[in-house]
Structure 1
Amino acid sequence: MIEELQKVFEILNLSYDENKDRQYQEYMEGILEWNEHVNLTAIKDRDEFIEKHYIDSLLCAGSPEFRRAKTIIDVGTGGGFPGIPLAVAFPEKQFTLMDSLNKRIRIIQKLCDELGIENVNAVHGRAEELGRKKHLRETFDLCVSRAVANMSTLSEYCLPFVKVGGCFIAYKGPDCEEELIAAENAIDLLGGSISRRENFASVGISENSGSELGHQLIFVSKIKPVMSKFPRKPGTPSKEPIK
């Protein structure tokens, strides 16, 4: 049903079958239906939805960091992005989708249960609180996030979930150079180190799918444990980013 999405699967050397096609189609329809009652996405056009939610979410899927990860957490998942498109594409991996709005989490889990997306666990809570929970802290191979926050704040939300040797992948806009420079100290304090940046062109997606999305990926390697004082209390990372 989704030719553009099939092209991306071919580029990434992934299998695309009728069940995945059905899950993508019905998840999109479910989100758009629920969106009339709960704010899940500003995108209502289906072609735009496929491009800006599905194809964009799959940007990290060809990276070696993602391919070797078995457990992935999506922080600030919103309507389930990038977590759900990745979970459908990789049913052998386990995904935890986290958001601070419980209504969103209930909808995501309900849709996953109805559509047979069995490798997703949707969790309600703030990153500052969940990042201190023993069963979640430094337990994931990989963290992904498309959440809207500056890189310093986002790193404090995300790096506490990643085990040493793992990776945090942030989806950022094309003009984030100053933001990354400003976040260098925060990333270091939180046990990370920026390893590289990639965009659609570098993984071959935009050239072959016609997508002109502006996201690039920032890869942050987790090289040492997070100090016990991080993350700070709820609200502090956004109000007082580490400098």
Structure 2
Amino acid sequence: MRSYLQDEYHLSKEQLDQFELYYRLLIEKNKVMNLTAITEEQEVFIKHFYDSLTISRVIDLTDTQKLLDVGTGAGFPGIPLKIAFPHLKLTLLDSLLKRIYFLQEVGDSLGFKDVDYIHGRAEDIALLSAHRENYDLVTSRAVAKLNILAEYCFPFVRIGGDFVAMKGAEVEQEVLSAKQSLYILGRASKEVHPLTLPEQMGQRNLVVMKKNQATPKKYPRKAGIMKKSPL
């Protein structure tokens, strides 16, 4: 399991040890709360850890400072990216407090610095001046459709920054349906990068969207409105 990370991303022994500790913490906590349906070690390392690090193929993370992971859940992709690129100033945002407590436990165990753990809903936190248009890179593996996900995430991205949505194999229709929302939320340009996970563990697409103008102040709307009337 370590070899895929080491060969592709040239991690140190200390970083690989951090991934193994993260795995153990994840599996132990998963016994008492629902964090992941994937628990077999090789699958976790490829479908969660390796998959998270693929963002470094499409974004120059050595030149990225502030990263926000929206709807981070069990910490993907934020925590794997922080392990591999420890200089990142990481913010993990999730609406479930129990998950935030788990993420804090992981961060403490891994010796992280410059990590903020925020309990809240994206549509509320995005209205706060400390977070609005404040991040170089925003990521999300959330299952929402791209036109809705963009409204959650783009308000956090600074002008000139990027939003990367991690999607499965079928993404063409989502990207087409999101064309108007990307224009409204930041005159955003987009690129879709397909990739294949090792050991035939699936196809993925990284949708990279660059924000070129400020997001209008009326966005994001409340979650119910977004879902009822998506952009």
Sort the TM-score into its range (normalised by shorter chain): over 0.9
Percent of matched pairs sharing the same residue: 38
Work out which of the residue numbers 213, 221, 224 in structure 1 matches 2:210: 221
Instruction: Determine if contact 2:6/2:12 at 8 Å carries over to the other structure.
Output: no
Counterpart check, 1:81 vs 2:70: no
Instruction: Determine if contact 1:156/1:230 at 8 Å carries over to the other structure.
Output: yes
Work out which of the residue numbers 16, 30, 33 in structure 2 matches 1:35: 30
What is the CA-CA distance between 1:22 and the residue it aligns to? 1.6
What is the CA-CA distance between 1:192 and the residue it aligns to? 3.8
Query: For residue 180 of structure 1, what is the amino acid of its counterpart?
Result: V
Task: For 1:31 and 1:150, locate their aligned partners in 2 and report how far apart those are by CA, in whole Å.
Answer: 27
Task: For 1:61 and 1:213, locate their aligned partners in 2 and report how far apart those are by CA, in whole Å.
Answer: 18
1:1-243 residue pairs with structure 2 within 5 A?
Answer: 2-10=2-10, 16-200=11-195, 206=197, 209-210=198-199, 212-242=201-231
Instruction: Determine if contact 2:77/2:141 at 8 Å carries over to the other structure.
Output: yes
Deviations 1:66-115 (A, max 9, x none): 44211010001010000000000000111111111110011001111122
Deviations 1:108-139 (A, max 9, x none): 01111122122322211101001101000000
Task: For 1:33 and 1:82, locate their aligned partners in 2 and report how far apart those are by CA, in whole Å.
Answer: 19
TM-score by length of 1: 0.90
What CA RMSD, in Å, does the superposition of the two structures yield over aligned residues?
Answer: 1.5
Task: For 1:210 and 1:43, locate their aligned partners in 2 and report how far apart those are by CA, in whole Å.
Answer: 15
Instruction: Determine if contact 1:93/1:119 at 8 Å carries over to the other structure.
Output: yes
Task: For 1:25 and 1:2, locate their aligned partners in 2 and report how far apart those are by CA, in whole Å.
Answer: 8
Structure 2 gaps, min length 5:
none
Task: For 1:79 and 1:144, locate their aligned partners in 2 and report how far apart those are by CA, in whole Å.
Answer: 14
Structure 1 residues 5, 132: closer, same or farther in 2, change over 3 A? Answer: same
Instruction: Determine if contact 1:71/1:140 at 8 Å carries over to the other structure.
Output: yes
Stretches of 4+ aligned residues off by more than 6 angstroms = none
Instruction: Determine if contact 1:160/1:231 at 8 Å carries over to the other structure.
Output: yes
Task: For 1:212 and 1:114, locate their aligned partners in 2 and report how far apart those are by CA, in whole Å.
Answer: 29
Instruction: Determine if contact 2:69/2:92 at 8 Å carries over to the other structure.
Output: yes
What is the CA-CA distance between 1:44 and the residue it aligns to? 1.0
More deviation, 119-128/146-155: 119-128
TM-score by length of 2: 0.95
* Match in the other structure for 1:13: none
Task: For 1:224 and 1:6, locate their aligned partners in 2 and report how far apart those are by CA, in whole Å.
Answer: 38
Aligned residues: 231
